[in-house]
Structure 1
Amino acid sequence: MTSSSFIVVSSLLAFVLSLLFSNGVVPMHAAFTNGAPFTICKKTRNPSLCFNVLKSAGTTNLKHLATFTLNLANNKAAQSCALAQSLASKAVDPRLKELYATCVEHYNNVVVVIEGAKSNLGKGDYNGVNIQASRAMTEASDCLDNFTQPPKDPSTLSGNGKAVEDICSIVLVIANLLLGRA
């Protein structure tokens, strides 16, 4: 009788665990060691940020991850644009004012490019997503490059720009996976 009880309990436990894993009730980190998030993050510019971003996405579906990261990059670019506008309006140094104004243009471009990437994703044009994410990274980088020479940017704008680049690098890897290239 103990042996049959053990079998029933073991079978029930196996069934419950399979339900938990298949329905996503088990925390995402359990799926991170071998799944899509691990594959994605190890190829990005900032794996630590990538793991945090993908954990918060709540899915391992590549298209959903692409949508999530594109939205995140779009939000960060819009925040960066607003910050650059504010800094440009308050800057006393004419050169700094000009650099911030240039960053406003770059981050406006990032927002437009990311919208294009979202459209491409919706159409299944993963190569287009890849190209647009790369363009977004270049635009953010162009803003950051403005501050390699004095005057230095004392604000958080540079950190925001790096975050945009890092998030877009996640999009690039996901697009390559969707294309079967990664």
Structure 2
Amino acid sequence: MASSSFLVVSSLLALVLSVLFFNGVVPMHAASSDDVVSTICNSTICKKTRNLSICFNVLKSAGTTDLKGLATFTLNLAHDKTIGNRALAQSLASKVADPDLKERYDTCVERYNDAVKDIEGAKGYLGKGDYKGLNTYTFGAMTEVDACLFSLSKLPKDSSTLPGNGKAVEDIYSIILVIANLLLGHA
């Protein structure tokens, strides 16, 4: 109930702001771009993600408040970070002496390979305007990274930056999922 009330209030706020800005009641220069981004990101997107501060920083640097533009920017960022994490896992697997950790890093390489494919698929679906496909493939990428993180949580404990990097990329995926739901009209 509180969730649906918040949704109604958020939707109304977005509608009122849109009407005021686009009908000239409040000139665009009356609010800084940071204020507009802050309003949109905090009320519509970021409060629904896993990490509010990462969401705000990511979307603030996007240079747009258009949902498709935000989705494109965030998907590109997720793609780059996912590829970086895969390269890190490959590097760790090639250097580690412990056979258990090597197996886990090899698992992460496979999982990140699949996550890269999922994010590329999500980009394709966004380009087609298929927001359900965008959502499904992004969730698939998140599931792959989560499986890597789960394998790294076992003993012996992994001390690399891969777990932290994995959590950060999952935070970016959560932004995409919220945007996909907004584009679908379900948020």
TM-score, structure 1 normalization: 0.85
Q: Which amino acid in 2 is paired with 1:128?
A: G
CA distance in 2, matches of 1:66, 1:35: 14
Superposed CA RMSD: 1.6
User: Among residues 29, 52, 59, which one is paired with 1:20 in the alignment?
Assistant: 29
Find the aligned partners of 2:59 and 2:32 in 1 and give their Cα distance: 12
1:56 maps to 61
User: Which one of the candidate residues 31, 34, 54 is aligned to 2:36?
Assistant: 31
Cα displacement (A) at 1:19: 5.0
Kept after mapping to 2: 8 A contact 1:113/1:133: yes
Are 2:83 and 1:78 equivalent residues in the alignment? yes
Cα deviation, 1:32-75, whole Å, max 9, x if unaligned, reads 34325531000000011000000000110000100011111111
Structure 1's unaligned 5+ residue stretches are 1-14
* Identity over aligned pairs, percent: 61
Pair 1:44-2:41 in alignment: no
**What is the identity, as a one-letter code, of the residue corresponding to 1:113?**
D
Matched, 1:137 2:146: no
The number of aligned residues is 163
Question: 1:93 aligns to what?
Answer: 98
Supply the distance in 1 between the matched residues of 2:41 and 2:103 (Cα, whole angstroms): 42
Question: Tell me, what secondary structure is at the counterpart of 1:57?
Answer: coil
1:127 maps onto 2:132 in alignment: yes
> Looking at CA atoms only, which structure, 1 or 2, has the larger radius of gyration?
1
Give the aligned partner of residue 174 of structure 1.
179
Verify the 8 A CA contact 2:131 2:181 in the aligned structure 1. Answer: yes
Measured after TM superposition, the shift of residue 28 of structure 1 is 3.3
SS at match of 1:34: helix
- SS of equivalent to 1:152: coil
Please state how far the C-alpha of 1:147 moved relative to its aligned partner: 1.9
Contact persistence 1:37–1:60 (CA under 8 A): no
How far 1:27 sits from its partner (Å)?
4.3
Paired with 1:77 and 1:85, the residues of 2 have a C-alpha distance of 12
Q: Distance between the aligned counterparts of 2:59 and 2:38, measured in 1? A: 13
1:159 correspondence with 2:153: no
